[in-house]
Amino acid sequence: MKYTLLLIAILTIACHQEQKPIRIDVENWSKRAANMAGSDSLLHGKTYLSVYSEMHSATLERKYSLVSMVSMRNISETDTLYLLRADYYNTEGSKIRTYFDFPIFVLPMETIEIIIEYADNEGGTGSNFLFEWETPVNCPEPFFEAVMSSRQGTQGMAFVTHGRRVK
């Protein structure tokens, strides 16, 4: 009987532990702020990227949480490019948050990242990003990619999505 009470006490404490707060802006975007004065010759674009913070598992009601690593890559060997905005939307199309809404630079061949943590399932099964960017003439456009992964017990999974230019 006392072992049963001990087990119940342990399970009760474990179930009521507070969740860690979700860290959103790991990167200090202000350190990457770019002065865009005199940059009239840059080409402007927008890219859409699908990201999954959850996916269905076995039934419509049962969902599986994922961690997402969103990569923003400059694939030019010579030119710096500029990201103007990164907006994150949920399955219903409502904006959840803006990671930055001022120009930041990405150096040649550099990759910068946004992490959607495992506990952050606010985006749901159909979350996505919309990025605005500018590049010098004849510079390749930025490459956007997301890697989603999860591990449950001894099983794991991972998959990738790629951005699509919309403007």
The series of mean pLDDT values per 10 residues for the chain, 167 residues long, is: 50 46 59 82 96 80 86 97 96 95 95 92 93 96 95 83 95
Q: How many domains does the chain have?
A: 1
Residue 37 domain flag: no
* Residue 160 CA to its chain's centroid (Å): 12
Beta-strand (E) ranges in 37-167?
Answer: 43-50, 54-57, 59-65, 67-73, 81-89, 95-100, 104-106, 111-116, 128-135, 143-152, 155-162, 164-165
Q: What is the pLDDT of residue 21?
A: 45
CATH number where 60 lies: 2.60.290
Q: What is the pLDDT of residue 16?
A: 43
On whether the CB atoms of residues 132 and 82 are closer than 8 A, the answer is no
Residues 6+ apart with CB under 8 A from 114: 27, 69, 70, 72, 86, 99, 129
Residue 14 domain flag: no
Q: What is the pLDDT of residue 160?
A: 94
Alpha helices, H only, the chain: 2-15
d(CA 10, CA 7): 5
On whether the CB atoms of residues 56 and 127 are closer than 8 A, the answer is no
In terms of residue numbers, what domain contains 80? 42-165
Residue 142 domain flag: yes
Q: What is the pLDDT of residue 76?
A: 97
Q: What is the pLDDT of residue 18?
A: 46
Q: Which of 108, 163, 90 is nearest to 131 (CA)?
A: 163
Residues 6+ apart with CB under 8 A from 37: none
Q: What is the pLDDT of residue 141?
A: 96
Residue 140 domain flag: yes
Residue 147 domain flag: yes
Q: Give me the amino acid identity at 68.
A: S
Q: What is the pLDDT of residue 13?
A: 46
CA distances from 7 to 17, 19, 28 (A): 16, 21, 44
Residue 97 domain flag: yes
Residue 9 domain flag: no
Q: What are phi and psi of 117, to 5 degrees?
A: -70, 160
